[in-house]
Amino acid sequence: MSSLTSRFMGAVLAGALIVLLGGCAPATSETQSTDTGAAPAIAVDGGLAVGEGSDRIDIWVDFQCGHCNSFENANGAYLAGMVEDGEATLVVHPLHFMDTGSGKTRSLTAANTLACAAEAKPESVTDLIALIFAKQGTDWTADDMIALGEKAGAGDLSDCVNGGTFVTWVKDSQEAVFGGEMPKGSELEKVTGTPTVLVNGALYEGDPRDNAEFKRFVNGQLTSK
């Protein structure tokens, strides 16, 4: 166990959570979906692939995860810049396990909204991620998510969000990754918490709040440099 994981282990006790990269994870999995929903056109390995870079960065997040928010605040603009500059393909895997026991579907609604935006206008994805994380701590609704989609430049997502177009895809993708269905080349057997970040399959185990440390790790894994 890394020293970072140890530091956060005592801080995340509610709901019998375990910690990865200073993040959160459910102690139990959900019942598997019985049907397979529609997937966005840019879906890859249960994630949303944006950018055309030869190097690949996968990140698993739950929009209610505070440590995911910290990672976004520290590294979101850096990753968005890599996508924009063609340095990397970013594959975002939105999860929803933090809805469990809350009686709410905030994470699921946000994840579906991100998939809707990815389908409508892939270039809006990184902006929308930042906007959703900025809403963390509020009891957001589908209407809030629709408004954020519009602000991010994805257009009117009302039908897709309200209709839950990609809800089943989000649920199935979470079940798959918690069950060990990982991208080819991953050194990690399965995702157990968020944020989880792989760069060309290599697991980042540093501080999610440290942009300089994360950049050094990324640069050490890139094949295009």
Say which CATH number the domain at 184 has.
3.40.30.10
- Tell me, yes or no, if the pTM score tops 0.75: yes
Query: Mean pLDDT per segment of 10 residues, for the chain of length 225 residues?
Result: 32 33 54 59 97 97 98 98 97 97 95 98 98 96 98 98 97 96 96 96 97 98 83
Q: What is the predicted pLDDT for the residue at 25?
A: 63
Query: Is 192 among the domain residues?
Result: yes
Q: Tell me the C-alpha distance between 97 and 105, whole Å.
A: 10
Q: What is the predicted pLDDT for the residue at 189?
A: 95
Q: What is the predicted pLDDT for the residue at 68?
A: 98
Query: Is 21 among the domain residues?
Result: yes
Task: From 8, 120, 128, select the one nearest 76 (Cα to Cα).
Answer: 128
Query: Is 219 among the domain residues?
Result: no
Query: Is 220 among the domain residues?
Result: no
Query: Is 179 among the domain residues?
Result: yes
Contact between residue 204 and residue 197 where contact means Cβ atoms under 8 Å apart: yes
Q: Which domain holds residue 186?
A: 3-27+37-213
Q: What is the predicted pLDDT for the residue at 23?
A: 66
- Counting the structural domains of the chain, the total is 1
Query: Is 22 among the domain residues?
Result: yes
Query: Is 10 among the domain residues?
Result: yes
Please provide residue 144's backbone torsions phi and psi, each rounded to the nearest 5 degrees: -60, -45
Q: What is the predicted pLDDT for the residue at 10?
A: 28
Q: What is the predicted pLDDT for the residue at 225?
A: 63
Task: From 136, 132, 165, 169, select the one nearest 147 (Cα to Cα).
Answer: 132
Residue position matching structure tokens 């102690």: 27
